[in-house]
Amino acid sequence: MPVIYNIFSELNLIIYVGTGLVTPTEFFRVGDEALQNPHITENMKVILDFFNAELDTSVSDIHLAIFKNNEAKQLGKGVGQTAVYTRSATMKFLGVALRQISFDSVANFSIFHNQSDAIQWLGLEEESVIASWETLTKQIERT
C-alpha cells in the first residue's frame, strides 16, 4: 500500500502517511525520494503516520533505519525530532530497541497513540499541523 509525504516548509515539518501493509523497503524508498527534494532542510521535524497501516517490520530493520538516518546526515539533511503515530505495540518496542542500539543516531524519536501528544512533543501549533495532516490524509484516501 502507499506511503506518501508532503513538506510543510512554513511549519518546518514533513509528514509521511502510510496505509495498508507498509514494509521498511517501501518506506525508505519514499524517504530517499523525499531527501532529494530541495525543500527538505537539516533537522526538519517529522511525523510518521502509520495509524492505519500494518507494519511489516522486525528487529533486523533497525539496522536499516540507523543506516538511512546516517545517510541523511551525510547529505546535510539530518532527521529532526520524529513523532511516530501508530496503534502498534510492536513499534513501541522497536523504538525502544532502536534507542538502545544507537542512541546517538536516533535520539529525537518517540511513539504516540494520539495526534495531540505527537504535535505537542514536536513543539508545533496544533491547529496548523492538524489542518496540514488532514489534507495529506484525504489525499491518501483518494489513492
Supply the pLDDT for residue 105.
55
The whole-chain average pLDDT of the chain stands at: 85
Q: Lowest mean pLDDT: which of 9-13, 20-24, 50-54, 70-74?
A: 70-74
pLDDT tens per residue, range 66-118? 777 778 778 777 778 889 999 887 777 666 666 666 655 556 888 899 999 99
Helix then strand count (H, E) for the chain reads 5, 7
CB 10 within 8 A of CB 46: no
> Interior CA angle at 106 toward 111 and 4, to 5°?
60
CA atoms 1, 64, 61, 97: torsion sign: negative
- The candidate with the shortest Cα–Cα distance to 55, out of 14, 100, 85, 15, is 85
Supply the pLDDT for residue 1.
58
Integer Cα distance of 128 and 8 in angstroms: 10
**Beta 20-22 vs 13-18: how paired, if at all?**
unpaired
Supply the pLDDT for residue 106.
57
Q: Lowest mean pLDDT: which of 9-13, 26-30, 87-91?
A: 87-91
pTM, two decimals, is 0.84
User: Which percentage of the chain shows pLDDT scores above 90?
Assistant: 44
What are the residue ranges of helices labelled H in 5-114? 24-35, 61-74, 89-101
Integer Cα distance of 94 and 122 in angstroms: 20
- In which band, very low, low, confident or very high, does the pLDDT at 56 lie, cut at 50, 70 and 90? confident
Supply the pLDDT for residue 107.
60
